[in-house]
Amino acid sequence: MTKTIPAYQRIKNAILDNIHSGKWQAGNAISTEMALAEEFGVSRMTVNRALKELSEERVLERRQGSGTFVAQQQFNHTFVEVRNIAEDLKSANRDYEAQVVSKRAVTAAMLDNELRRKFGIDEGAIIDEGATSVNAIAQTDASDEAVLYEVKIIHFADGQPIQFEERWVDAKKVPKFIDQDFSVVNTSDYLIAKSPLDSGSYTIRALAAPDEIAEFLQIAPQSPTLVLRRQTYSAGQVVTFVKMWHAGDRYQFSGEL
């Protein structure tokens, strides 16, 4: 059974896509309510709801008599402390190297339930209310398009694997992510530069290493590992979700209170 996306939410998504793609940058005026109403074929009341919610989320700024503008974000230096393993190891005078195991584009049909839920992706969602048969065909073709990018990387310290990274990134919000050479460019650094993060959440668990993970970390299967799972947000939406597997006898988490 398909699920229809409300018109106001479609407008919000379109505005966010324009911001993330760089079409509308901080301080820029966006389309007027009347123009958006005509573009989406809805009432100005529906447009007003979308703009009101984005203003409350501090994505937009509405100025009486002037229009609606992309808000100047105050979190260009993220509230979330995203650790860069390359810098951590280099600062500890250890030789660092990254080896890209794989990277690929992922379509909606390829997603498991966890990733679909994390990124709010509904494979059967109807994008355009009242779509004609021609639009329906175009939507079917669009289902083959990438919704996420996936990359798997082994991080080495002094020639020994210390972390295995599995990362998924919203393909529309960071379209050039998949083109980067992540043996040279750090994934977290690139994402912060292209899509400033405003919040995030994470968990750390001790898990026995599955066979594939054990092979990448060069440890025995079922050996103890520390797994950091983190999702980070920009403008209220998940940009990236990552699992970082660490060999239990080679890595520890520490901080200051």
Helices (H), the chain: 7-21, 33-40, 44-56, 85-91, 113-119, 133-142, 187-194, 211-217
Q: Which two tokens stand for residue 23?
A: 């079409």
Rounded CA separation 17/147 (Å): 13
pLDDT greater than 90 at residue 168: yes
Amino acid 255: pLDDT: 62
| DSSP annotation string for 52-118 | HHHHHTTSEEEETTTEEEE---S-SS-SS----HHHHHHHTT--EEEEEEEEEEEEGGG--HHHHHH
Amino acid 71: pLDDT: 84
Confidence category of residue 133, pLDDT binned at 50, 70, 90: very low
> Helix, strand, or coil here: 165?
strand
Amino acid 210: pLDDT: 95
Residues 196-225 pLDDT 10s: 777 888 899 999 999 999 999 999 999 999
Amino acid 83: pLDDT: 66
> Helix, strand, or coil here: 155?
strand
Once rounded to an integer, what is the mean pLDDT over residues 167-180? 94
Rounded CA separation 40/48 (Å): 13
- pLDDT top residue among 72 and 117: 117
Amino acid 80: pLDDT: 47
Confidence category of residue 128, pLDDT binned at 50, 70, 90: very low
**CB-based contacts of 99: which residues, under 8 Å, 6+ apart?**
153, 154, 156, 183
Q: Which two tokens stand for residue 59?
A: 């994505």
pLDDT greater than 80 at residue 136: no
Q: Taking all residues of the chain, what is their mean pLDDT, rounded to a whole number? A: 83
Amino acid 256: pLDDT: 62
Once rounded to an integer, what is the mean pLDDT over residues 175-194? 91
- pLDDT top residue among 43 and 248: 43
Amino acid 123: pLDDT: 57
Q: Which two tokens stand for residue 44?
A: 């100005």
pLDDT greater than 50 at residue 137: no
Confidence category of residue 91, pLDDT binned at 50, 70, 90: confident
Confidence category of residue 82, pLDDT binned at 50, 70, 90: low
Amino acid 65: pLDDT: 83
